[in-house]
Structure 1
Amino acid sequence: MVYKVGDVENLMKGPIDARRFYNSEKAIVAKITLQPGAVLEKHSSKEFALLFVLSGCVEVEIGDNVYDLEKDSLIEFPENILHSVTNKTSEVAEVLVVKIK
């Protein structure tokens, strides 16, 4: 089966566009677009997750650690750890998030 980002609605409003285009008992996949200055506030997830930067640059905070990621960078999020994603640049940033159940 083929899944397309454009086939699903945006889950958020404002400067962040989040589209969960795959959701099964094994994984969740979402594409998130962050406009300049956008902040995906601190939150945690019960699943292990990976974030891959498709375009632009983002700042990722995981617990007490801060990472600056650019295009083609990958970072992992442990379960139940607070994390946030911020676009501090003047360009749009796009990331792919994969949560493994």
Structure 2
Amino acid sequence: MISKENAEHYIWGGNCDGWRLVDREGCSIIHEKMPPDSQEVRHFHQTAEQFFFVLSGCLHIEIAGTEHELHSHEGIEIPPNTPHQAMNRSDEAVEFLVISRPNTRGDRVLA
């Protein structure tokens, strides 16, 4: 069994949290938490396709120049080679899952 309490934890972007729930070569599932007014660096993945699914809060995500606003229990797919950037513009933390196939380790390119 895996949970936030026993998963590998890491900090990204200086103040955002990630928990590796599944970490295999063919797939990764990461539970992420972004505090208010935080964002990731715009990037793309050469091989991996991703699916972002919001657990709580509101996530803004720019995908290839179009911005989307996702709320709790909403998700969006991102194909390989598609520049994107996740942002939290709200006053509350946002928590979401990022499901990647295959794993994104070594597959990230700054856009």
RMSD of the alignment, in Å? 1.3
| Structure 1 unmatched ranges of 5 or more | none
Tell me the number of residue pairs that the alignment of Structure 1 and Structure 2 aligns: 100
SS in 2 for 1:30: strand
2:53 corresponding residue in structure 1: 52
Unaligned regions of 5+ residues in structure 2, if any? Answer: 103-111
Identical counterparts, % of pairs = 25
The change in CA–CA distance for 1:78 and 1:13 in structure 2 (over 3 A counts) is closer
For 2:35 and 2:65, locate their aligned partners in 1 and report how far apart those are by CA, in whole Å: 24
Q: TM-score, with normalisation over the residues of structure 1?
A: 0.90
Residue 74 of structure 1 corresponds to: 75
Q: For residue 98 of structure 2, what is the aligned residue in structure 1?
A: 97
CA contact (8 A) 2:9 2:17 kept: no
Deviation at residue 51 of structure 1 after TM alignment: 0.3
Distance 1:88 1:48, change over 3 A: same
Q: Which runs of 4+ in 1 moved over 3 A?
A: none
- Using the alignment, how far apart are the partners of 2:85 and 2:97 within structure 1? 14
Alignment of 1:10-89 (within 5 A): 10-12=10-12, 14-45=14-45, 46-89=47-90
Give the TM-score taking structure 2 as reference length: 0.83
Query: How far did residue 81 of structure 1 move?
Result: 1.0
